[in-house]
A and B are shown apart, each in its own frame.
Chain A
Amino acid sequence: MTVPITLLGLLEREPSHGYDLKRDYDAFFGRGKPLPFGQVYATLGRLARDGKVAAGEPEPGAGPERKRYVITEQGVTEVAAWLAEPVEPEPHLQTVLFAKVVLALMTDRPAETYLDTQRAAHLQRMREFTELKRTGNTVDALLADHGLFHLEADLRWIDVTAARLDALAKAVRS
């Protein structure tokens, strides 16, 4: 999750204090990894420096950091552009697994066993996401679904690779 653009997006709803932004970020996007206050204010400072938000005057009696932030036109444009841009597809895990499988075959190690171990780890994570879906709210369930579909795609790749290990072994050992 890109923190600056997310905070900017949250600010587009309404002018907010840093505390409110942190609370909403943690609720919707933090997922067990809360945003430190320091990062919130450092990010807001950079966004203000770049002209994407404007900081209000410190509010009386509320401490030095008690400012209300407002998104600028430039900020709104950036949020709109970011939302419209498709996310880069990420085949990273597959690349790591592929490297492991190829190296295992090259070094006469049990590639199929490694794939089975990975399959078990993926299925265990899928069980955890499934449990989250059973017990969580709508936001939890949708995030869990996202994870489940990604893990499922990896598992399909693991299945296909396992089925073609002999052919792959010939290719990498030749």
Chain B
Amino acid sequence: MSAGQEDALVQARGIHLSFGQTPALRGADIAVRAGEILAVMGPSGSGKSTLLHCLAGILVPEAGEIHFAGRRLDTLSEGERSTLRRDRFGFVFQFGQLVPELTAEENVALPLLLKGVRRGEAVARAGEWFERLELDGLHKRRSGELSGGQAQRVALGRALVARPEVLFADEPTGSLDSLTGERVMELLSTAAREHGTTVVLVTHEPRVAAYADREVIVRDGKVTSLSHDRVVV
């Protein structure tokens, strides 16, 4: 059974969005169940990243509706969406996009600091992620002193430290070699399953999508569901 409307945590209904004269989404529908890892696949330029940005409240569709936890998201003000993103969502992008002036530890602590958690506690909670993400001893490094795989794991820690309800990951392994990318996906999927975090994972790589519970494909701005529930082997 694919995610139905009644049990969806994140949902888009008939959304349209164009960039200038170019339509990116043309009536896209998608429903993401709480706690599932959903891979959004599709060719380059199909609209999959735009869809993720709409679901995450970064972009607002021109038509259609976005719902999160039963609440209309696309009609919220920019400020309200910003608060929602900060408090309930986590993000990982293709390139870690760490703040270069901050240490790895401070980068991971950032979402907590932005939420008003005291610095000492934020850094302590950030530190807990270092062992788990195999980043021991790298707390004080800055982004320029980290390998691509290390930087992406720091970005993953930053995305998960505040225990978001939804993790939006846009090509999180796109800049990594195959083995490093798989390690990042292993850590991401394990952490998400442990915490019950819902994950929307945009990827064009089947090996990355294989860590998800199910996948949809975006084609010409519309979404096609491919498979049913994960089969435990």
A130 at the interface (CB under 8 A from B): yes
Say yes or no for B209: interface residue by CB 8 A criterion: yes
CB distance from A11 to the nearest CB of B (A): 33
- A117-140 contacts to B, CB under 8 A, are 119-120, 122-124, 126-132, 134
Main secondary structure of the interface of A (DSSP, over half): helix
Asked if B206 and A163 make an inter-chain contact with CB atoms under 8 angstroms apart, the answer reads no
Contact of B210 among A119, A120, A129 (CB under 8 A): A129
Q: Does A152 contact B (CB under 8 A)?
A: yes
Docked Cα-Cα span, A119 to B207, in Å, equals: 13
Among residues 1 to 47 in chain B, which have CB atoms less than 8 Å away from a CB atom of chain A? 43
> Across the interface, which residues of B come within 8 angstroms of A134, CB to CB?
186
B163-197: which residues lie under 8 A (CB-CB) from chain A?
186
Bound: A128/B231 CA distance, A = 8
Please state if B43 and A120 are interface contacts (CB–CB under 8 Å).
no
Q: How many of chain A's residues have a CB under 8 angstroms from any CB in B?
A: 20
Q: Least Cβ distance of A122 to chain B in Å? A: 7
Is the beta-carbon distance between B226 and A116 smaller than 8 angstroms? yes
* Chain B positions within 8 Å of A148 at CB level: 207, 210
Q: Knowing A119-B226, A122-B206, A128-B233 touch, does A163 contact B186 (C-beta < 8 A)?
A: no
Which of A116, A120, A127, A152 contacts B230 (CB under 8 A)? A127
Does B227 sit within 8 A of A, measured CB to CB? yes
Q: Is B103 an interface residue (CB 8 A)?
A: no
Cβ A123 vs Cβ B233 within 8 A: no
- Which of A116, A126, A163 has a CB less than 8 Å from the CB of B217? A116
Within 8 A of B (CB), among A97-126: 116, 119-120, 122-124, 126
Cβ B207 vs Cβ A126 within 8 A: yes
Distance, CA A127 to CA B213, complexed state (A): 8
B211 within 8 A of A: yes
Q: Assess whether B207 is in contact with A123, with CB atoms less than 8 Å apart.
A: no
Query: Chain A contacts of B231 at CB under 8 A?
Result: 124, 127-128
Cβ contacts B201-233/A at 8 Å (1 or 0 each): 000001101111001010000001011001111
By the criterion CB–CB under 8 Å, are B207 and A152 in contact?
yes
Query: Which residues of A sit under 8 angstroms from B230, Cβ to Cβ?
Result: 127
One of B207, B211, B212, B226 near A120 (C-beta < 8 A): B226
CB atoms of A131 and B227 under 8 A apart: no
Decide if A159 is an interface residue (CB 8 Å cutoff).
yes
CA–CA, A152 to B210, complex, Å?
A: 10
Contact B206 A130 (CB under 8 A): no
How many Å lie between the Cα of A123 and that of B230 in the bound state?
10
Q: Does A168 have its Cβ within 8 Å of any Cβ on chain B?
A: no
Are A123 and B215 in contact (CB-based, < 8 A)? yes
With A119-B226, A134-B186 known to touch, is A127 a contact of B210 (CB < 8 Å)?
yes
Complex Cα spacing A129 to B211, Å = 10
Q: How far is the CB of A33 from chain B (nearest CB, A)?
A: 16
Q: Is A151 an interface residue (CB 8 A)?
A: yes
Q: List 20 A-B contacts (CB under 8 A).
A: A116-B217, A116-B224, A119-B217, A120-B215, A122-B206, A123-B209, A123-B215, A123-B227, A124-B231, A127-B230, A128-B231, A128-B233, A129-B210, A131-B232, A131-B233, A134-B186, A151-B206, A152-B206, A152-B207, A163-B43
Which B residues fall within an 8 A CB radius of A?
43, 186, 206-207, 209-212, 215, 217, 224, 226-227, 230-233
Beyond A123-B210, A130-B207, A131-B232: 20 further Cβ-contacts under 8 Å?
A116-B224, A119-B217, A119-B226, A120-B215, A120-B226, A123-B209, A123-B215, A123-B226, A123-B227, A124-B227, A124-B231, A127-B210, A127-B211, A127-B212, A128-B233, A130-B210, A132-B233, A134-B186, A159-B43, A163-B43
Question: 6 tightest A-B contacts by CB?
Answer: A126-B210, A120-B227, A120-B226, A130-B210, A128-B233, A155-B206
